[in-house]
Chains A and B, each alone.
Chain A
Amino acid sequence: MTEYEMVRKAGVQRTVIRSVAALIGMFAFAFALVPLYDVFCRITGLNGKVDTTAQAIVHEEVDQSRYVTVQFITRGSAGLPWQMSVATRQMRVHPGQAAEVEFTFTNNSHQESWGRAVPSVSPSNATAHVRKVSCFCFQEQLLQGDERLTVPLVFQLSRDLPEEINTITLVYTLYPVHNMAMGASVNNNNTLGDEI
Chain B
Amino acid sequence: MAPKLPPQHSLQQSSTAVAGGQSHHEHHAQPKGIMRWLLTTNHKEIGSLYLIFSLVMFFIGGIFALVVRAELFQPGLQLVEPEFFNQMTTMHGLIMVFAAVMPAFTGLANWMIPLQIGAPDMALPRLNNFSFWLLPVAFILLLSTLLMPGGGPNFGWTFYAPLSTTYAPPSTTFFILALHIAGISSILGAINIIATILNMRAPGMRMMDMPLFVWTWLITAFLLIAVMPVLAGVITMMLMDINFGTSFFDAAGGGDPVLFQHLFWFFGHPEVYIMILPAFGIVSAIIPTFARKRLFGYASMVYATAAIALLSFLVWAHHMFVVGLPLTAELFFMYSTMLIAVPTGVKVFNWVTTLFRGSISFEPPMLFALAFVVLFTIGGFSGLMLAIAPADFQYHDTYFVVAHFHYVLVPGAIFAIMAGVYYWLPKWTGHYPHERLAQCHFWCSVVGVNLTFFPMHFAGLAGMPRRIPDYALQFADFNMLSSIGAFFFGVSQLIFVLVVVLCVKGGKKAPAKAWEGAEDLEWSVPSPAPLHTFETPPVFHRTHPSE
Contact = CB atoms under 8 A, between A and B. Distances in A.
Nearest to A175: B252
Given A4-B537, A26-B229, A192-B167, A187 B245 contact: yes
Contacts of B227: 26
B229 A23 contact: yes
Contacts of A31: 233, 237
Contacts of B245: 178, 180, 185, 187
A16 B194 CA distance: 9
Interface stretch (A7-15, A98-106, A158-166): A7-15
Given A33-B263, A178-B245, A11 B191 contact: no
Given A15-B194, A22-B226, A124-B326, A52 B168 contact: no
B220 to A, nearest CB: 14
Contacts of B123: 8, 12, 15
B16 interface: no
Given A12-B195, A124-B326, A26 B252 contact: no
Contact of A52 (B230, B254, B256): B254
Contact of A193 (B169, B203, B225, B250): B169
Interface string A161-196: 000000000000101111010000101011011001
A196 B167 contact: yes
Q: How large is the interface on A (under 10, 10 to 19, 20 to 34, 35 or more residues)?
A: 35 or more
Nearest to B258: A47
Interface in B470-504: none
Contacts of B408: none
Contact of A30 (B124, B169, B229, B256): B229
Nearest to B245: A180
Max count, chain B CB within 10 A of own CB: residue among A8, A12, A29: A12
Given A37-B259, A47-B258, A124-B326, A23 B167 contact: no
Contacts of B200: 8, 12
Interface in B141-200: 150, 165-170, 187, 190-191, 194-195, 198-200
A55 interface: no
B324 interface: yes
Interface in B224-282: 225-230, 232-234, 237, 242-243, 245, 248, 250-254, 256, 258-259, 262-263, 266
A44 B326 CA distance: 10
A29 B227 CA distance: 10
A116 interface: yes
Given A4-B537, A22-B226, A125-B326, A16 B252 contact: no
A47 B253 CA distance: 16
Interface string A31-43: 1011001100100
Contacts of B233: 27, 29-31
A84 interface: no
Interface string A50-76: 001000000000000000000000000
A16 B192 CA distance: 8
A193 B232 contact: no
A30 B232 contact: yes
Contacts of B198: 11, 15
A88 to B, nearest CB: 25
Max count, chain A CB within 10 A of own CB: residue among B165, B234, B256, B266: B256
A47 B256 CA distance: 9
B248 A34 contact: yes
Contacts of A93: none
Nearest to A24: B229
Contacts of A8: 123, 199-200
Nearest to A7: B199
A85 B248 CA distance: 28
A190 to B, nearest CB: 5
A190 B251 contact: no
A129 B251 CA distance: 22
A177 B252 contact: yes
Nearest to B248: A34
B259 A23 contact: no
A15 B199 contact: yes
A150 interface: no
A185 B242 CA distance: 12
Interface in A116-159: 116, 118, 122, 124-125
Interface string B525-547: 00000000000010000000000
Nearest to A195: B167
Contacts of B191: 15-16, 19-20
Contacts of A86: none
Contacts of A52: 254
Nearest to B166: A189
A27 B229 contact: yes
A190 B169 contact: yes
A8 B199 CA distance: 6
B168 A19 contact: no
A116 B258 CA distance: 19
B218 to A, nearest CB: 11
A131 B255 CA distance: 21
Nearest to B201: A8
A23 B258 CA distance: 25
Contacts of B199: 8, 11-12, 15
Max count, chain B CB within 10 A of own CB: residue among A52, A175, A190: A190
B230 A26 contact: yes
Nearest to A20: B191
B195 A15 contact: yes
B234 A30 contact: yes
Nearest to B234: A30
Contact of A12 (B124, B229, B230): B124
A173 B150 CA distance: 28
A29 B168 CA distance: 26
Q: What 5 A-B pairs come out closest when comparing CB atoms?
A: A30-B233, A175-B252, A11-B199, A26-B229, A27-B229
Given A16-B191, A34-B259, A125-B326, 10 more contacts: A15-B123, A15-B198, A26-B229, A27-B233, A30-B234, A31-B233, A47-B324, A52-B254, A176-B252, A187-B245
16 contacts: A4-B203, A12-B195, A16-B191, A16-B195, A24-B229, A27-B229, A27-B232, A33-B259, A33-B263, A34-B248, A47-B324, A124-B326, A173-B251, A189-B168, A193-B166, A196-B167
